[in-house]
Structure 1
Amino acid sequence: MAASLDKLQALEQWFKDNRIRYDARLIELRQVGTGYGVFAKKNLEVDQGLCIIPKDAVLSVRNCAIADTLESLEIDGVLGLAVCLMYERHMGASSPWSAYLASLPDFEPLPIFWPSSDLAELKGTDLATQVQNDLVLLQADYTAHVERFIECSGLPAEAFSYEKFLAAASLVSSRAFEVDDFHGQCMVPLADLFNHRTPTRTTPGEHVHFETDADVCMFCGTNGECWCDEVSDDGSEEEEIVDGELEGEGWVSEEEENDGEEEGDRRHQRRGRGSPSPPPLYDPEDWTRDPEEDEDFGDFDPGVDILELTVVEKCPANSEVYNTYGHHPNTHLLSHYGFTSPSNPFNTVLLPLPALLSHLAPPSLAPRLAFYTRIARRIVDKLESEHNDEEDEYDAEEELMDDLDDADAAEFLDADNTNIERDLTLTATGTASAHLRAFAHLLAVDEGTFAGFCDEPERFEGYLRQLDGDGQMKKGGKGSKKRKAGKKGVDVDRVVKDALRTIAADRLAAYPTTVEEDERVLKTLGKSTDPASLRMRHILVLRIGEKRILGRVLAK
């Protein structure tokens, strides 16, 4: 406990040294279990500003000391960030992020670290296979990229062992934020102290939301005009530069860049303009700012690009202030962050693709798989997002089906199996997701109906609009009578419903225990916080959530 408090004090001093600020009149940092959390000292009101984080304080593949090496080896994204984290940990006290790194746990207790006895308890769940797949992918990344980095960098191999790679990857998985087009995925000090809460009908998920301008120069990170506007893709200057000024009409103003762009999540209020020259990599000997230069909260130079945290939901005094990591099922929360949320309204259950194909496979499978992956999925996405663009979205696919008559189904299964399976989910209410409904009906309709979809994809969109939430034809829908014919005179709605019920029953039978047995064991765990009990609690919450979904399918 004392060591954790010492680390927290050192972290807060590091925040001050690096101009990471939070309003100490409104919030405070506290120890929560083995980690930390943020708590309200006063009632928080919507639109109050709580935190400001300069972008040069984040840790990314762009500003770590090995940035050039990573770029030359084309190691980026979350993999590159994991390598950055290993390097900065290896640097110890000489790392500019040393106090921040010291506040982090050695690793996040994700299922990839669990003993085999606990992994056996995942039998029947969606996570059981995912853990094994994750480990295979992590080993492949380490062998292909991290070992090559060790060889090229000349750094000690023991600092970049596979075990340390897994530890770093777990921290990146559970803590990284997407910052902007330049930095990409980053470790963001202070931002990662706000814990997650899953929203429900009665409880909001997040009290706060982070905002920044993500649309910066992807080459130098400048927020505004920069030299990169005048440099072509091959690095040559397209316009003459005289006395530090850009000549000609190639200069693109911020207003011109944004002209006609839709407003969305990536567009936020501008906070000043950066220098027109690319920012240099940090010098470890002269990186930390002079603490005597401290300013009032929120008083930043207009040239400093920042992340801001603002209150979006009221939070009463003495309560923990939550962020949300997204609307995720417990499978995702446990595999990426190491925890679960009881009664999670975003829980899902995957239905195995082979099981669906065994019940609904048409005579010619490959064309339907191709139609789904290349056309139908986009139609579903369009309906889900409620976009009604006037232009024809399917023109590019008009010749798609011309050469599919002799296609090999295995080709599409090999190429798109994983992507298709991700779509085949049952929701927390026990209904098929929009993608599952579309895929199941696409398999079940007769050849003539499918041919019509291929000729005019808009017909498939119209077909989907007639389905209700359970994947059945809406009463009085335009296609209700025609659909009763189905293939070979079979009721397509009934075929799809029976197939989903049968598969759900098979999934439910694959668990080693019943939902009632799991609930009894969960009660016996109480509020124990030892690691073994915590793991078992997460397993039980995961299993109970999945079983309830499957039970709702069978009860319909």
Structure 2
Amino acid sequence: MNTTKTDEIINKNIDQQRISILMDWLKSKNIYIHSAIKLGKRDDGFFVYTEKFIKKNTIILKVPKNAILSPKTSLLSFFLDKTKIPSILSVCIVYMYEKSLGQKSPWYGYLQIMPDKVDIPKLWNHEKKWLKGTEIEYVGGLDISELQSAYNELILPFIKKNKEILNQRIFTYNNFLKAISVVRSRVFEIDKFHNLGLVPFADMFNHATNEHIHFQTFYNVCRHCGLIYCKHIFKLKKYKKTQYEDTCDMIVHNSPSAFDEVYNTYGTHGNDILLSRYGFALHKNKWDRISMSKIFQKNDMKSDRLLWWKLNGFNASYKMGLFKRYFSKNDIKNYFSSDSNNHNDKEIHSYHNIQYLFLQDSLFITFPSDPSSPLIFFIILLSLSHKLFKNLEKNTKKTNIYILNIIRLQLLYFHTGSIKNLKYQKYTTLLIIFKINKFLSNAIDSRLKKYNQTLILDNLVYENIKTQENKRKHWTKIVLQNEIDILNNTKKKCIKLIHKTKLILKYQKLYSFKIKKNYF
């Protein structure tokens, strides 16, 4: 028997032992798992599957909250409660601490099955240059400075202050990087008491956009003690006592068939977040978006239009409902609260700055080839004649109707490919649509130049993805291919619409259909 075959058998036996240790530990902690649910192992990691069909709304996992690993359940809770360390870093600290205890940790059976690290791009070496210009770079997925600051300013002082119980040789910067990569990829939002935490077995389900299960927990518990009914709540307000089993559950949302892998969803994330946080990417990810705002920042454009956009763009877009397709009201609310804590205490221009940042973040092209409504609005603004722009400043209501009509026509063509609705539009409207697509096509060319020009997709060749470098090539190729396809497909549509609009304009001009008066 050759060495490779022997190693495979040994590794398979080790994996089975780790699964057995985990399952025994789960049972000891009164964690319920549906009898059909099983844990398996393959080359790319662990996965969960079912041995039979499971009905919708079936609970397949129930984890008591005293079994989760959080800053409130660890022995370090007494020390962490006295700090202002952010929740995600607190989870990282307790994870490192409990893991350092080995078999002495109450969570050993759970922690022993975890990977040493998740291979996120922040931890890559020379391979980072492959992702230059991608959305991963734009969201900070290659920049490690934030983690360096967090370690030096928050983690290290905590370690030094509690050196009697924390081994400084274990809490090194390199170990912190590995730990935070694991924690960020597995952490769940639990409730008001725990905030964030690691939920045993719930983190073993892989991600898919057509997921089978959803995570569910009772969030509004007492923030002082974690109970649903307690003396703290009783003192604050009238509260009807209810019998409730305080657990974190996985519930079937879309029934899996026998021997299907059972998938969870990590959220509506593009590959920028999936690779940056979870260490993988998806082919033709329907949540992929290509940001375009930085292209326009470096463009030589009319300053009066940019100033109007900065001061009025958010309110105008909101009133016209341009954000609705892409963001819920909660999305917008959360953006403002997360990007500007206590912004009410700041000068009013700070609030406008947050509006502008949100507005700029809404300038994107989505999979497979759809420019966002705010992006089209912004390009319309740049395409208007001086006279029409002045009218835009004077007559908001009438202008909104006009702009919405142009956005509707643009998106309708991109979705259907039909020019039926364009044929009978006025000359000025057609001219703006022509300019929109000319401008967008040029912007896409500029965006494509942001990618690593020395890296050709064909050069990312690998025989298998078992080695670390080949895995990184694999994920890079998926990310690059998806982003470049989105941009190229959008450009193709722009060029077609430019050509068709040009023909209609020539026809109208030839037969004197050009309007003599502007719409507004």
8 Å CA contact 2:135–2:291 kept in 1: the answer is yes
Following TM superposition, by how much is the alpha carbon of 1:461 offset from its aligned partner in structure 2, in angstroms? 8.3
2:237 to 248, 251, 256: 251
Which residue of 328, 333, 338 maps to 2:269? Answer: 328
**Distance in 1 between the 2:114 and 2:314 partners?**
41
* Correspondence list, 1:110-125, <5 A: 110-116=120-126, 118-125=127-134
1:146-545 equivalences under 5 Å are: 146-154=155-163, 155-197=166-208, 199=209, 205-223=210-228, 225-230=229-234, 251-254=237-240, 273=242, 302-355=243-296, 358=299, 360-363=301-304, 365-373=306-314, 376=317, 379-382=321-324, 384=326, 419-441=358-380, 446-453=389-396, 460=400, 463-464=403-404, 467-468=407-408, 470=410, 484=429, 491-512=431-452, 518=457, 520=458, 525-545=462-482
Tell me if the contact between 1:366 and 1:412 (Cα under 8 Å) persists in the aligned partners.
no
How far, CA to CA, are the matches of 1:475 and 1:145 in structure 2?
Answer: 61
1:73 is paired with a residue whose SS is: coil
Letter in 1 for 2:147: L
Unaligned runs of 5+ in 2: 1-10, 330-346, 414-418, 494-520
Q: CA offset at residue 103 of structure 1?
A: 1.0
Q: Distance in 1 between matches of 2:438 and 2:117?
A: 45
What's the CA shift for 1:46? 1.9
- Residue 409 of structure 2 contacts residue 421 of structure 2 at CA under 8 Å; is this kept in 1? no
Is there any run of 5+ residues in structure 1 with no aligned partner, and where?
A: 200-204, 232-249, 255-271, 274-301, 388-402, 486-490
Counterpart selection for 1:59 from 69, 75, 93: 69
Could you tell me which amino acid in structure 2 is paired with residue 424 of structure 1? L
Distance 1:371 1:353 in 2: 19
1:10 maps to 2:6? no
Mapped to 2, the partners of 1:107 and 1:461 lie a distance apart of: 53
Structural RMSD (CA): 3.5
Which residue type is aligned with residue 226 of structure 2?
A: G
Give the superposition deviation at 1:310: 2.0
User: Could you say if the C-alpha distance between residues 422 and 97 of structure 1 is closer, same or farther in structure 2, counting changes exceeding 3 Å?
Assistant: farther
Of residues 85, 100, 118 in structure 2, which corresponds to 1:108? 118
Q: Secondary structure at the match of 1:53?
A: strand
The CA distance in 1 between the partners of 2:237 and 2:134, in whole Å, is: 55
Structure 1 segments (4+ residues) deviating >6 Å: 411-417, 472-477
Partners of 2:181 and 2:277 within 8 A in 1: yes
Give the TM-score normalised by the residue count of structure 1. Answer: 0.72
1:395-415 deviations in Å (ceiling 9; x for gaps): xxxxxxxx99xx8xxx89986
Task: Give, in whole Å, the separation in 1 of the partners of 2:383 and 2:314.
Answer: 16
Separation in structure 2 between the aligned mates of residue 176 and residue 344 of structure 1, nearest angstrom: 22
The answer to whether the 8 A contact 1:51-1:308 is kept is: yes
CA offsets 1:125-162 (integer angstroms, 9 cap, x no match)? 22235456641211122222112212332333333221
Number of aligned residue pairs: 452
Identify, as 1 or 2, the structure richer in helix.
2
Query: Any conservation in 1 of the 2:295–2:443 contact (CA below 8 Å)?
Result: no
**1:42 alignment counterpart:** 52
Q: 1:541 to 1:60 in 2, by over 3 A?
A: same
Change (3 A) 1:386 1:95: closer
Q: Does the 8 A contact of 2:190 with 2:196 survive in 1? A: yes
Secondary structure of 1:349's counterpart equals strand
1:195 CA displacement: 0.7
- Deviation digits for residues 278-325 of structure 1, max 9, x if unmatched? xxxxxxxxxxxxxxxxxxxxxxxx553012222222222222111121
Taking the aligned partners of 1:19 and 1:442, their CA distance within structure 2 comes to 61
The letter for the 2-side match of 1:221 is G
TM-score by length of 2: 0.77
Deviation at 1:497, TM superposition (A): 2.6
- The letter for the 1-side match of 2:322 is V
Q: Is the alpha carbon distance of 1:222 and 1:306 closer, same or farther for their aligned partners in structure 2, counting shifts above 3 Å?
A: same
**Secondary structure at the residue paired with 2:41?**
strand
CA distance in 1, matches of 2:20, 2:450: 49
2: CA distance, partners of 1:418 / 1:7: 47
Contact 1:356/1:440 (8 A) holds in 2: no
Percent of pairs with identical residues: 25
Structure 2 SS opposite 1:543: helix
One-letter amino acid of the counterpart of residue 380, structure 1 = L
- CA distance in 2: counterparts of 1:503 and 1:364, whole angstroms: 17
